Amino acid sequence: MIVIGGSASTNLAEKVAKQLGQEPGRIEIKRFPDGEKYIRIHEEVKGQDVALIQSLYRTPDEYVFEYLLIADTLRDMGAASITGVIPYLAYARQDSRFYPGEALSSVSIARFFEAVGTTSIITVDCHLHRLGDVSKVFKIPAQNVSAMTLLGRYARDNLRPKRPIVVGPDEEAEQWAGTVAKELDAKHAAFTKKRIRKEGETKSRVVIDTGNVDVKDQDVVFADDIISTGGTLAEAARACKRKGAKRIFVVCTHPALADGALKRIKAAGVSRIVGTDTIPSPISTVSVAPVIAAALKTRS
Ligand code: R5P
């Protein structure tokens, strides 16, 4: 299998290739003076299985289009299969038409990827609040792998929480809290969250309900898939402080970190925030390369 990284995931592609005992496939990506992208693949891909790694963060539209150009070129050059490895699948959160006329972006993205010859998909901790499973969005085989075991081990070995409880800041995050808790040999729980978004606005306000979860005198480790604005975790951390929690840590897969998110979360009393390299960031300490490589191994 040839592993190729788009410009969003050059470093991650190198790490994944290394895990598989090979060099990453050579690709040239430049920009023409007018802003268009120039793509050239310097590998013989005819009859080969190719894994194309491209995470869709910060400038997702640019990276989506670049993915489409590369995949279409691979198909045209005769690649036997194209596995789209999309560590952070942008647009997954818009999986419902909340107001009439809104784009169902998660479905549209899936159609675009399929249209250029992608034969299967691997994502990492994909956010599919209402659908629950990435294979329900794509018509081609789609697999989700999780970074939560790696994050749990990192927390155990490096954060070393005392009397830990692992908490998902909302209902969907309970699954991730459960996986992290196993590594810490701790209990886990989940809060409930309401997001209030007014019609015509893209920003929303978050209201967290801690229910009867007891965090008094315990170290809390939050586990979540994405930190976007940090509003969810800041609210959840403040709620824990009010209930008498000791130290608060956060582990998350995708540090999207929009809009001063780190500052916002730290100001709420969080001691350390750890993320992965699905999105390069100042907190991307844990690499998802091993879980991606393991998933690719089962296909080659
Ligand atoms: C949503 O349900 C996700 O799991 C995250 O909790 C959410 O996307 C984080 O967004 P923000 O950081 O803007 O609150």
Closest atom, ligand 1, to C-alpha of 169: 6
State the CB neighbour count (10 A cutoff) for residue 159: 19
Confirm or reject: Cβ of 230 under 6 Å from ligand 1: yes
What Å distances lie between residue 65 and 6, 112, 140, 215, CA to CA?
Answer: 11, 9, 19, 45
Average pLDDT, the chain: 95
CA of 56 relative to ligand 1 center, distance in Å: 16
User: In angstroms, how far is the first alpha carbon of the chain from the final one?
Assistant: 6
Per-residue confidence (pLDDT) for residue 300, from 0 to 100: 67
Encode pLDDT of 98-107 as tens digits: 889 999 999 9
CA of 228 to the centre of ligand 1 (A): 6
Residuewise pLDDT in 10s, the chain (300 residues):
999 999 999 999 999 999 999 999 999 999 999 999 999 999 999 999 999 999 999 999 999 999 999 999 999 999 999 999 999 999 988 888 888 999 999 999 999 999 999 999 999 999 877 777 899 999 999 999 999 999 999 999 999 999 999 999 999 899 999 999 999 999 999 999 998 777 777 777 889 999 999 999 999 999 999 999 999 999 999 999 999 999 999 999 999 999 899 999 999 999 999 999 999 999 999 999 999 999 999 976
DSSP letters of 40-90? EE-S--BT-EEEEE----SSHHHHHHHHHHHHHHHHHTTBSEEEEEESS-T
Atom of ligand 1 nearest to the CA of 231: 14
Single out the catalytic residue among 15, 30, 193, 198: 193
What's the Cα-to-Cα distance from 26 to each of 17, 48, 94, 268, rounded to whole Å?
Answer: 12, 14, 34, 44
Neighbours of 260 (CB within 10 A): 11
The bridge status of strand 248-255 relative to strand 272-276 is parallel
Which of 207, 208, 227 maximizes ligand 1 atoms within 8 Å of its Cβ, making it the mutation to test the pocket? 227
pTM comes to 0.94
225 CB less than 6 Å from ligand 1? Answer: yes
- 193 classed as catalytic: yes
**Ligand 1 centroid distance, CA of 229 (Å):** 8
Distance from the alpha carbon of residue 36 to the mean position of ligand 1, in angstroms: 33
| pLDDT for position 161 | 98
The string of DSSP codes covering 118-146 is: --EEEEES---TTT--GGGT-SS-EEEE-
Q: Of all protein residues, whose CA lies closest to atom 1 belonging to ligand 1?
A: 226
